[in-house]
Structure 1
Amino acid sequence: MGEIEAKLETLGHRLPAVPEPAGAYIPAVRTGNHVYTSGQVPFEDGELASSGKVGAEVSLEEARAAARTCVLNALAAIRAELGSLDRVARIVKLTVFVASAEGFNDQARVANGASELLGEIFGERGAHARSAVGVFELPLGAPVEVEVIAEIG
């Protein structure tokens, strides 16, 4: 077990198995010195952990937790591609899509759930650029979807 996975355990998290793609794509692609993940929804043990729109069926705190689950799924895809998360030199970019009820405009606060977890795991290497985008619907009725771009060291 590498340093980053040990840190995850210390924080009370475990990397899941890489979720099976729900379409015609692969979980992560490495090109040059970067890994790009496909959008990850909050799957836990093969099931969607929550569904619905944030600000209606899903609370802000539930959405923040879902964003953290999405990050763990993205990190699992990165580990599968690289063999170890210790090879991540930096988290470069995080994109968070939030299925938003009408009038919900706290997408950035939802995204903070993912950003803060990356900071806890990677420290300074987890500081990243970010977009938090409100959308009408996400695949499978997920409340949150996350994409990660990581630089390889």
Structure 2
Amino acid sequence: MSLFFIVNKQNGEILLVVKFHRFFRLRGGFCPSLKFLLTESLDYIILDFPFSYKHSQVSKFIDFSIFIDTPLDIALARRVTRDFCNSPTEDILSEMKNYTSRGRRGYLNMLETIKPDADFVIDGTLQAAEVINVILDNLKN
């Protein structure tokens, strides 16, 4: 699930968190939505978006790219516990087959293509609260 966050620069308070696809679908697509946000008086717009500078329509809006470098086993375990906690075993096994046949390649590709271009890389083994604090500290500087 991709999210975007709007953060108060003065105190680091998260003002708004919206599911990425829902907001952008409502605003007429990705770039029109981003252009709309840029007309607002906002301190930060934080996108949880996997393509960073490689996305030609979005890259011109990015000032600072952060890559959360999470080992694949931890990323997979977190995803399964988050997305499949109430799912039948068959759904989990189906997703594991998809991961091994296709999904893993996407993660490996991001390590090769997105991570090297990031302005800052965070240790993805940290707990979520620690990652958030590191991001907010870097944005303040």
Q: What's the TM-score once normalised by structure 2's chain length?
A: 0.28
Normalized per residue, the structure richer in helix is 2
Normalized per residue, the structure richer in strand is 1
Q: What's the TM-score once normalised by structure 1's chain length?
A: 0.27
